[in-house]
Amino acid sequence: MTNKGRVITLFWLFAGFAGLLSSRLIQIQYVDHAYYLDRADAQHLGEAELPALRGEIRDRNNVVLATSIARWSIAVNPEQLQNSNELEKAVEVLTASTSIPEKDIRNVVERPGTFGWIARKVNDQEARAVREAALKGVFLVKEPTPGKRYYPKGHLASHLLGTTGIDDQGLDGMESSYEHHLAGTPGILRAFMDRDGWATLEHPTALIRPAVPGHNVVLTIDESIQYVAEKELARQVKEYHATGGIIVVMDARNGEVLAMAINPDFPAEDFAAVKPEVRRNRSITDPYEPGSTFKVFLAAAALNSGVKPSDTFASGGIMSVDGWTIHNANDGLYAGAMESLKDIIAYSFNVGTANVALSIGKDTYYKHLLAFGFGEETGIDLVGESGGILSDAKDWANINTATISFGQGVACTPIQLTSAMQAIANGGVRMKPRVVKAVTDHEGNVIERFEPEVLGQPISAEASKQMLDILENVCENGTGKRARVAGYRVGGKTGTAQLVENGVYAPGLYIASFLGVAPVDDPRIVVLIKIEKPTPYWGGLVAGPVFNRVAEKALWKLGVKPDPKLLKRDLSENGH
């Protein structure tokens, strides 16, 4: 082939290649323009998470105790604004209702896609105007403020409610125990990615899945009873120079906790500044030697085993067991040689109590303590519960049987004591303690309701009745006179327990307590009062009056009216 022929051939080859290239460019530019534009966008789009609003925690009457700070954001679906009249109306109303310039609003509503932000976290007035306008394609999205959990009642029930972290996750208390209900389900937005390859919420194009708010948790707590318990606890801690204390109020009929007060309390919003040991819910986590309040369960075991309230036992000033000396404490009256079971409890005789325990035997006594729930967790719906300390009866010598009967050598939590007393108040039937009544969705529909649950019957109905009579005698004639409530028949047991620190009894340090029932003729509440390291320290003196004030106000709140005859008698005795 001549040079001229090769040139002509190359010319036509290049011309053909250029023609193919031009036709391909025309196809990409005009025919397949939308396809390649979508592919280009897809390479710059990702998925961003739209946070869900955390559920609320409420009291039994739906009073809000914990909520999340959230703001309304205005969003639009441009595909629903294809009609020019609707689009112009939306632009007009949004421009008038918000501080966003008209051109910025047009940029969003005229942009392709199914989702776009008009304005995020607007004020209430702007949100109300948009809601009332009811514009097609325009809607409100509630956005939580991360790390901004709000507790409307301040420090109230702080240990029970718990705290949340910076990412809104529950750290302790109800916030942790019911995290799976409170957390909600985040939504998903398709959005443009930033320079670092992260999709953000700032420039979304479509709502793939809306965020679903968390469930609301409705507690058994009564906000007003909780307030009274905390107020009276703080008053007594201050008056007796104590380091702290605990009050538990429980519904005697079903085990629902009506109040759980712990002192000192803390601001739940500022969890980072609060030490973990202060945040700890000591009513379920910290077992302690209960002292004389534990005599209640020895007496109940004896009654259930055939002992009569009038049966007498040696109760003199001292006794020797396995070479150890047991003596009566000086917060009761000193006994004579023999005292009835009823008076042993009324005047809190250690010697008499020990002899009752030895008479029924360690196996019978231990069996009843297990039935009352000691030595194991109650199963309350809170994280971190302790089962306390109760050694196996096979390891008990006589001295162990004796000392455990008056609350030494055994440890239990406040919730265990309250739960066990609830069984005595409820005809011998023990109910599972609970702090949650129900779980609802954000619209108030019940997701789950928790019904009362029977755990067992440690004593008979007859033994329960006899025990309530014995407890009433404590308040009428014994160490619990300061716990009496005008107009009501109440019963209970005082306790003065030496504090154990580092495995030994700390000299001069005590826990003053009172464990009571009101009213004994038709029990509605069980109340535990525990004051830590008070001065002076006698249970009847320090804790008894707190029971009086808390029980009176709680019964009033529950609609339990005083007996007019009793009220007249009690007021006249008090000089009124």
Q: How far is CA 85 from the centre of its chain?
A: 53
- Dihedrals phi, psi of 45, to nearest 5 degrees: -110, 150
How far apart (Å, rounded) are the C-alpha atoms in residues 46 and 37? 16
| Contact of 250 with 418, CB cutoff 8 Å | yes
| Local structure of 423: helix, strand or coil | helix
Give DSSP secondary structure letters for 207-258.
Answer: EEE--BPPPEEEES--HHHHHHHHHHHHHHHHHTT-SEEEEEEEETTT-BEE
| Contact of 531 with 421, CB cutoff 8 Å | no
How far apart (Å, rounded) are the C-alpha atoms in residues 369 and 362? 10
| Burial class of residue 121 in the structure, from the number of CB atoms within 10 Å of its CB (0-12 exposed, 13-18 middle, 19+ buried) | middle
- Cis, peptide link before residue 536, omega less than 30° from 0: yes
- Which amino acid would we find at residue 529? I
Distance in Å from the first CA to the final CA of the chain? 135
How far apart (Å, rounded) are the C-alpha atoms in residues 249 and 258? 5
In 3-state terms the chain splits into helix, strand, coil percentages (rounded to 5) of: 40, 25, 35
Tally the C-alpha atoms within 13 A of residue 492's C-alpha that lie toward its C-beta: 36
Q: Does the active-site annotation cover 292?
A: yes
Q: Give the active site residue among 292, 340, 348, 419.
A: 292
* Cα distances (angstroms) measured from residue 40 to each of 33, 43, 73, 137, 546: 11, 5, 29, 27, 73
Question: Which letter, b or e, does each residue of 520-533 get, where b requires 16 or more Cβ atoms within 10 Å of its Cβ?
Answer: beebbbbbbbbbbb
- H-helix or E-strand spanning residue 75: strand 64-76
Name which of 325, 327, 320, 355 is nearest 341 in CA terms: 355
Q: What is the signed CA dihedral for 13, 14, 16, 19, rounded to 10 degrees?
A: 180
Name which of 372, 436, 433, 365 is nearest 405 in CA terms: 365
| Contact of 423 with 417, CB cutoff 8 Å | no
Beta strands in 488-545 (DSSP E): 491-501, 504-518, 525-532
How far apart (Å, rounded) are the C-alpha atoms in residues 77 and 9? 58
Tokens standing for residue 389: 């300390």
Question: Which letter, b or e, does each residue of 207-237 get, where b requires 16 or more Cβ atoms within 10 Å of its Cβ?
Answer: beeebebbbbbbbbbbbbbbbbbbebbbebb
Catalytic residues: 292
